Amino acid sequence: MIYEIYPRSFQDSNGDGVGDLNGITSRLDYLRDLGIDAIWITPIYPSPLVDFGYDVADYTAIDPLYGTMADFDRLVSEAKKRNIRVIMDFVPNHSSEQHPWFKESRSSRTNPKRDWYIWRDGKGPGEPPNNWQSWFGHSAWQFDPATNQYYYHHFYKEQPDLNWRNPEVRKAMYDAMRFWFKRGVAGFRIDAVSRLFEDPDLHDDPIVPGRNAYGDPNILHKYTDNLPDVHEVLREMRRVADEFPGSRILISEADEPNISELTKMYGKNDEVQLPMDFQIADVNKLSAPDFRRLLDEVENNPAGGQPHYFFSNHDQPRQWDRYGDGVHNAQIAKLMAALLLTPRATPLMYYGEEIGMRTTPPARKEDVQDPIGKIGWPEEKGRDGERTPMQWDKTKNSGFSSAERTWLPMPPSAAEYNVESESRDPNSILSFYKKVLALRITEPALQHGSYVAVDRDNPFVLSFLRKNGGKGNSILVVLNMSGAPQTIKFDLASQGIKESSAKPLIAAPRLGPDAAVLAHFTIPAFGVFIGAVH
Ligand code: GLC
């Protein structure tokens, strides 16, 4: 189980209204008690913070806003004492325009670092080299009058793309990875990896009907996304990871359009171990058939890779709002927790989902922090809503910070949904997460058992077995994704299950005494059942 921390928003230790490394260290006991194995911290490198750290100005240092290298080392060693591994975010596609490499590169056409970035002539006066668009709106080319050429940026113009066809760039970036591996990090979540290469012949991208939130014509990012060269880089990164002892881990962020593209990220077990499955994250509705199909697909991926999925992160509205129906959200939060934590996978959760944090977007344009919210307002409000500070307790700023003003405001829901209140309530969302995470440790079938979907034609209820090959329990998971009770006639004999009922381990809401009879199994609206079967 990996837990994503957005460091600006987890815990502020020095009262400046922004979270920091010592803040994370002070909360490690909470994370240990929750039952997680690793934390992934989004970028903490020096940065002008145009994209809140995804614009890196130095790949081998810590931004003073978050602390010092000594603070970082202390975090890694304190985490290790609690069996928590630390995963860094690595941003290879682009640097900040403030990175010394880019400053050199833009200084003249003959500078030795010129070719470290993607520079091209315009088509004509005032005309960019082609129609490629930034993911964050408008042309992906920025004119630089100093040398009369354009540079390419897949994201903001302050994030120029590095040229991965240049061997010096590769060496510098791999050395940066080694720097952190030597400091004891377990691995990297590699940012925007499918965007590393662009068509060298600069073909225009195909235009499709309609306009996006920024008012640009819609295009397919055909010539800037998923070029085959990406895999050569992933193999090289894996070789770097394998230079170090103790199973180091690579995770790729890549919103692959289908399972065959996702599968390629595993390579022949020589690329990343955990490609994030965005297909599952993007279902966006409670649909048993959709989840069944996608779980089957990733389960049977031809590379035999370990599935890795999530529902919330720092780029998309929280699952509370995407899956909640506005009435049963707390129950649905438990349903989503079980869906995340019980299939065969290395799950990834986002800070605060365990207490039911909700998306709280800014109310006014002038409050927006994320630049895409400024460009796209009001249709695109940016990503501030899913990045609000962690809700620890009922004290000032919910225990996040002693500052007068925190970098994003505390959501009003913090008074009810916070760690302290929920820790005292055995039926809270937090208590539910803890129970399921603990069960993953005590029931080997949830760690190592195979995954078999059962009752496969049910349009409302997703049910599956985690089958223990050895002597222990197998686990039956039943998730009702509808707002009405459902009755199921399970026939599990063909799966080698001999008993006629399941022994309840976790159920929400609680079930009656006969509820677990397999031939007549009734599950309440949005109910979750996890039981042992033999
Ligand atoms: C990834 C990050 C996102 C960032 C972008 C550019 O998608 O998750 O937050 O803005 O890359 O680096």
Alpha-carbon distance 416 to 463, whole Å? Answer: 32
Pocket of ligand 1 contains residue 91 by CB under 6 Å: yes
In this structure, the dihedral spanned by the alpha carbons of residues 253, 175, 71 and 4, taken in order and rounded to 10 degrees, is 10
Is it the case that residue 220 has pLDDT exceeding 90? yes
CB 288 within 8 A of CB 460: yes
Rounded to the nearest angstrom, the distance between the alpha carbon of 54 and the centre of ligand 1 is 6
Residue 276 Cα, ligand 1 centroid: separation in angstroms? 14
Instruction: Give the separation between CA 319 and CA 301, rounded to whole angstroms.
Output: 25
Q: Within 13 Å, how many C-alpha atoms sit on residue 155's CB side?
A: 28
CA of 251 from ligand 1 middle (Å) equals 14
Task: Judge whether residue 374 has pLDDT over 70.
Answer: yes
Of ligand 1's atoms, which has the minimum distance to the CA of residue 94? 12
> What is residue 470's predicted lDDT score, i.e. its pLDDT?
74
* Residue 513: pLDDT over 70: no
Find the 42 Cα to ligand 1 centroid distance in Å: 10
Q: Measured on CA atoms in the order 338, 341, 347, 352, is the torsion positive or negative?
A: positive
How much distance in Å is there from the Cα of 201 to the middle of ligand 1? 26
| The pLDDT of residue 95 is above 70 | yes
pLDDT tens, 167-203? 999 999 999 999 999 999 999 999 999 999 999 999 9
Contact residues for 451 (Cβ-Cβ < 8 A; gap 6+): 295, 299, 343, 344, 464, 465, 466
Stretch (H or E) spanning 198: none
Pocket flag, ligand 1, residue 155 (CB < 6 Å): yes
Residue ID of nearest Cα to ligand 1 atom 12: 54
**Residue whose CA is at the smallest distance from ligand 1 atom 3:** 315
Closest ligand 1 atom to Cα of 91: 12
- Nearest-CA residue for ligand 1 atom 4 is 54
How confident is the model at residue 256, as a pLDDT?
A: 87
Give the whole-number percent of the chain exceeding pLDDT 90. 96
Preceding omega of 378 cis (within 30 degrees of 0): yes
Pocket test for ligand 1, best of 44, 51, 225, 370 (most atoms within 8 A of CB): 51
pLDDT higher than threshold 70 for residue 4: yes
Would the pLDDT of 512 be above 80?
no
Taking CA atoms only, the protein residue closest to ligand 1 atom 7 is 192
* Residue-level pLDDT at 55: 98
| Angle CA 229–235–240, to nearest 5 | 130
Residues 6+ apart with CB under 8 A from 171: none
pTM of the model: 0.97
- pLDDT tops 70 at residue 346: yes
**Angle formed by the axes of helices 229-242 and 167-182, to 10°?**
30
Structure tokens at 55: 């614009």
CA distances from 492 to 87, 158, 514, 524 (A): 40, 57, 18, 21
- Beta carbon of 192 within 6 Å of any ligand 1 atom: yes
315 lines ligand 1 (CB under 6 A): yes
515 — pLDDT class (breaks 50, 70, 90): confident
427: pLDDT confidence band, cut at 50, 70 and 90? very high
Written in H, E and C, the secondary structure of 403-424 is CCCCCCCCCHHHHCCCHHHHHC
User: Is there a contact between 306 and 295 (Cβ–Cβ < 8 Å)?
Assistant: no
- Ligand 1 atom closest to the Cα of residue 383 is 9
List, by residue number, the catalytic residues.
191, 243
Per-residue pLDDT at 514 exceeds 90: no
**Arithmetic mean of pLDDT, 304-327:** 97
Cα 191 to ligand 1 centroid, rounded to whole Å: 6
Q: What is the pLDDT of residues 38-90, one digit of tens each?
A: 999 999 999 999 999 999 999 999 999 999 999 999 999 999 999 999 999 99
pLDDT digits over 476-510, tens only? 999 999 999 999 999 999 999 999 999 999 999 98
Mean pLDDT of 400-406: 98
